[in-house]
Structure 1
Amino acid sequence: MTCLRLVSPARKTAHALARALCVTAVAALPLHGAAAQSGSPQKNPSTIQDTEIEALMRDYTRPILKAAGLAQQNVEVVLIADRSFNAFVADGKRIFVNTGALMDSKTPNQIIGVLAHETGHIAGGHLARMRQQVEGMQTMAIVAMLLAGAGVAAGAAAGAGRDMGSIAAAGVTAPQEMLRRSLLTYQRGEEQAADRSAVSYLNATQQSARGMIETFQRFQDDQLFISQRVDPYLLSHPMARERIAALETLAKASPYFNAKDSPALQERHDMMRAKLVGFMERPDAVARKYPLSDTSLPAQYARAISAYRYGSVNGAISQIDALIARQPNNPYFYELKGQALLESARPVESVAPLRKAVAMTNGAPLIRAMLGQALVQSGNPSYNEEALRELILATQRDPNSPGAWRSLAMAYGRKGDVANADLAAAQGYFASGEFQIGREIAARARQRFAPGTPGWLKADDLVNFKPPKSARNNR
């Protein structure tokens, strides 16, 4: 991966009912719930940015979003560094997908089905309606608890005796339990609606819904060990067997049910999976999944990545060069070579492959930022203007990269432009969520710019920026 970034933990709800719903959703092993073997959810899950994988996700979602009428909404796929099979939406702009879902999916169609389901939630406005339902339930819960409390008080006044404590507990919790079941029933209906929408999008794009069925069959296997112990009315999603039965009727009626992914798309999917395994698994796990006897391109890719992360850089470069020999027009092999050299303190050698990767990807911002970093770290004064150009372009397209801003600050500093160096440093701290330090440096930068100039205005904006309450609380 070219970069890892932390996502702020989800804001805690104010009401115990909402917290209970979150727990129930995890227990359900749903389409976007944690797998049983994943353990407790991370408190601070990390996101992964990678040009190659993000390009593949855009190609997967583009036709689906168009079919859903969301082509102009700039919906993006965000990758979560978590090994469980999981996907979800939290707003109308982003679909979150765990790397575990990508690594465990055998075909593009399986992930495309997941993305189509989540698109159904966005297009259907389910998040907004769910918030309305929760708000309404919270009001009803308050009223119900007050009435239950009034009944408890009346019983106490009448001298109900020693069992008053247990009666009080039942009287207060029973209304909440009824409301929770009601809300979960509503949520299960939304899940079924998203399934139906997903099939319609797949039909509109002449793709099969077979991958969705295969995914639900996976969840059905996971649910076997809890199906005898879990009340289905306490789940936020329908049981997998119910979803499979409902989907099979719709899916098999489609003329595209037997449609296959193209060989080229399957190869990109296999390369994506190999890349994730190479970066996220230990060498022994990589060797088990991609033994030396496997001479396929994905296997070579995974082993080359693992070699650079855990072995000799020279040996890794030899393996990467072999990849380049097989596919000389693959920009991500040049990116990998540049990254391996840069992270091995060989920035001068990393410049050439990174320049090639930037040119071949039409200036992908993540790769452009890495090239700028390599140019700065080379210590070659003749590279400074090129570094400034690459880093300015990279931060314009992706302003949330602390490393790119730090490298830009260094490049400005070497040029003697202290005002812009301070401004870039301040933006780097803002990108990493360190708002107080960022404001202090921005205030210093503001003093160096002439009042009213673009640099002064930007620094002034940073000085007066008030971060969201959740960001302040999570610092």
Structure 2
Amino acid sequence: MSFSPPQRLIRADAWRSLVRLLMTVVVLLAVAVRPVAAQSILRDAETEALLQDMMDPLLVAAGLQPGQVRVHLLGERSINAFVAGSQDIYVFAGLIDAADSAEEVQGVLAHELGHVMGGHAIRINDGAKAATSISLLSLLLGAAAIAAGGGEAGMGIMMAGQQAALGKFLAFSRIQESTADAAGAQYLSKAGISGRGSLAFFKKLQNLEFRYGVKQDDDQAYGRTHPMSGDRIQSLREVYVVDAAWAKPADPAIEQRFQRIKAKLQGFISEPERTLRKYPESNTSVPARYARAYAWHKSAYPQKALAEVEGLLATAPEDPYFLELEGQVLLESGRPKEAIPPLRKAVTNSRSQPLIAALLGHALIATEEPANFPEAEEVLKTAIALDNQNPFAWYQLGIVYANKGDQPRAALASAERYQLEGRQAMLALRNADLAMQGLPEGSPDWIRAQDISLVARAEVERERKRR
């Protein structure tokens, strides 16, 4: 049976529409899963400490223990945050930059905690399954209609089914977001934190929608993953303004630390020219000096960076993070010996903060003086004992072991590093197997190498099947 040209065109257009719709469903599901491995995680001791201190009162309000949910910083400039796994919150650098106060970020953290407590990262599969059931049923019915000779009717059934599936998934997502909004408001209230910041941040999002022409009428709500910002603001305002914490002043210590972190992050991720425009040298505040120190360091002006650090240390000589920055600038400017004293002091003053300790270990190794390697081994082992999720620390410890001639443990350290970095399963497997060959069988290190080998081998096999 042949089709006339107009019918063929109609059918081709229908297929293209169906493909676009299916692609939309796939993209939305991919966004819902949000693979963290594809993101760039920023590790900074001061930032992580602040985010956790901002998070802990909310955790207690939710009935959890401090530190039970961890907050991670991603290096992307999007104004976004999400939950991955069951108890990990990821905040984008762009969100920190867009926020004007710590309370705004705490409003976002409270919302994300609502997702955690609701198990939304896990339950998203429920919404996907429901949508997939509709989708598959429509495909089967449409295929049956086409087989019976009703080509256009079959295509209509398929497309209607895909649209229904997409709508069901989006409705499921909007319900989760509304639930997280309500839960976040409760956590802020119980923690004694005003909802002013939450409303202010939602207003920022609404302004962005206005700027980019996103319509706010009810007809547009059907195709959104989140409720309309205006509706969210109205609903939350009714809750916040009557809350006892509404007029409570913000925590001045947290706010001061937040402004430091915001400026520090600006200096780290932005182009130096932009940072120097925002924080001119006439501004001698701590946040401004912090931002300029990173801008000058990125621009390869170490002396100007060190001058800003000196200004910071003049205000707080014992501040471990200012000392850490001084050591970092010296180390990365090719002066590792000079970096050691401030870094040693930073490690002591921070009570062996693992990220700072790893930097000290790096400086000790960078001197290439054998006398410094025992201290490097000690501080790196301490750093890993406190935080074994730092691939840089494992890399440095591997250098120490290789320098000692302990190749099996050097290989194990490399296996740990490659496993943490992700997308390096083959290298993790090779190094783990090499470590097992030289370590005493059944020893703790041998067992650890075996664990890495098993996980890495499974990942390599999965990758081969995908290809």
Match for 1:446: what amino acid?
M
**Aligned match for 2:160, one of 170, 174, 177:** 174
* Residue 415 (structure 1) aligns with: 404
| Residue 180 of structure 1, CA deviation | 1.6
User: CA separation in 1, counterparts of 2:351 and 2:74?
Assistant: 26
- Highest relative contact order (Cα 8 Å, sep 6+), 1 or 2? 1
User: CA separation in 1, counterparts of 2:196 and 2:86?
Assistant: 26
| Residue 42 of structure 1, CA deviation | 11
- Does the CA-based 8 Å contact 1:79-1:96 persist in structure 2? yes
Cα deviation digits, residues 348-371 of structure 1 (max 9, x gap): 111111111111111111111111
Matched, 1:19 2:7: no
Q: Percent identity?
A: 35
- Does the CA-based 8 Å contact 2:216-2:228 persist in structure 1? no
* Residue 438 (structure 2) aligns with: 448
User: CA separation in 1, counterparts of 2:326 and 2:270?
Assistant: 19
| Residue 255 of structure 1, CA deviation | 1.5
Cα deviation digits, residues 313-344 of structure 1 (max 9, x gap): 12211221121111112111111111111111
| Residue 263 of structure 1, CA deviation | 2.1
User: CA separation in 2, counterparts of 1:238 and 1:182?
Assistant: 14
| Residue 80 of structure 1, CA deviation | 1.1
- Does the CA-based 8 Å contact 2:127-2:168 persist in structure 1? no
User: CA separation in 2, counterparts of 1:466 and 1:416?
Assistant: 25
Matched, 1:66 2:52: no
Secondary structure of 2:73's counterpart equals: strand
| Residue 471 of structure 1, CA deviation | 10
Matched, 1:227 2:215: yes
* Residue 242 (structure 2) aligns with: 253
Matched, 1:395 2:402: no
**Aligned match for 2:418, one of 408, 412, 429:** 429
User: CA separation in 2, counterparts of 1:131 and 1:217?
Assistant: 30
CA spacing shift, 1:299–1:182, aligned 2, 3 Å? same
Match for 2:313: what amino acid?
I
Secondary structure of 2:250's counterpart equals: coil
**Aligned match for 1:189, one of 155, 172, 175:** 175
Match for 2:127: what amino acid?
Q
**Aligned match for 1:201, one of 172, 180, 187:** 187
User: CA separation in 2, counterparts of 1:43 and 1:381?
Assistant: 37
* Residue 133 (structure 1) aligns with: 127
Matched, 1:215 2:201: yes
Match for 2:222: what amino acid?
Y
Matched, 1:55 2:44: no
User: CA separation in 1, counterparts of 2:241 and 2:38?
Assistant: 41
User: CA separation in 2, counterparts of 1:218 and 1:468?
Assistant: 45
| Residue 197 of structure 1, CA deviation | 0.8
| Residue 19 of structure 1, CA deviation | 1.5
Give the number of aligned pairs: 440
| Residue 93 of structure 1, CA deviation | 1.4
User: CA separation in 1, counterparts of 2:249 and 2:334?
Assistant: 45
**Bigger share in helix:** 2
User: CA separation in 1, counterparts of 2:36 and 2:391?
Assistant: 23
- Does the CA-based 8 Å contact 2:80-2:91 persist in structure 1? yes
User: CA separation in 2, counterparts of 1:276 and 1:73?
Assistant: 23
| Residue 152 of structure 1, CA deviation | 3.2
Query: What TM-score, normalized to structure 1?
Result: 0.86
Secondary structure of 2:455's counterpart equals: coil
* Residue 7 (structure 1) aligns with: none
| Residue 146 of structure 1, CA deviation | 1.1
| Residue 269 of structure 1, CA deviation | 0.7
Query: What TM-score, normalized to structure 2?
Result: 0.88
Cα deviation digits, residues 52-88 of structure 1 (max 9, x gap): 0000000011010111123277211111111121011
| Residue 466 of structure 1, CA deviation | 3.6
| Residue 405 of structure 1, CA deviation | 1.8
Matched, 1:105 2:112: no
CA spacing shift, 1:197–1:455, aligned 2, 3 Å? closer
* Residue 268 (structure 2) aligns with: 279
| Residue 17 of structure 1, CA deviation | 6.7
Secondary structure of 1:213's counterpart equals: helix
* Residue 358 (structure 2) aligns with: 369
CA spacing shift, 1:466–1:421, aligned 2, 3 Å? closer
Match for 1:215: what amino acid?
F
Matched, 1:460 2:460: no
User: CA separation in 2, counterparts of 1:129 and 1:460?
Assistant: 33
User: CA separation in 2, counterparts of 1:462 and 1:194?
Assistant: 37
- Does the CA-based 8 Å contact 1:86-1:100 persist in structure 2? yes
| Further displaced range: 50-59 or 171-180 | 171-180
* Residue 428 (structure 2) aligns with: 438
- Does the CA-based 8 Å contact 2:426-2:457 persist in structure 1? no
Matched, 1:300 2:300: no
Match for 2:426: what amino acid?
Q
User: CA separation in 2, counterparts of 1:264 and 1:462?
Assistant: 42
User: CA separation in 1, counterparts of 2:85 and 2:451?
Assistant: 26
* Residue 345 (structure 1) aligns with: 334
- Does the CA-based 8 Å contact 1:17-1:138 persist in structure 2? no
Secondary structure of 1:203's counterpart equals: helix
Secondary structure of 1:357's counterpart equals: helix
- Does the CA-based 8 Å contact 2:221-2:228 persist in structure 1? yes
User: CA separation in 2, counterparts of 1:304 and 1:168?
Assistant: 65
Match for 2:28: what amino acid?
L
CA spacing shift, 1:197–1:378, aligned 2, 3 Å? same
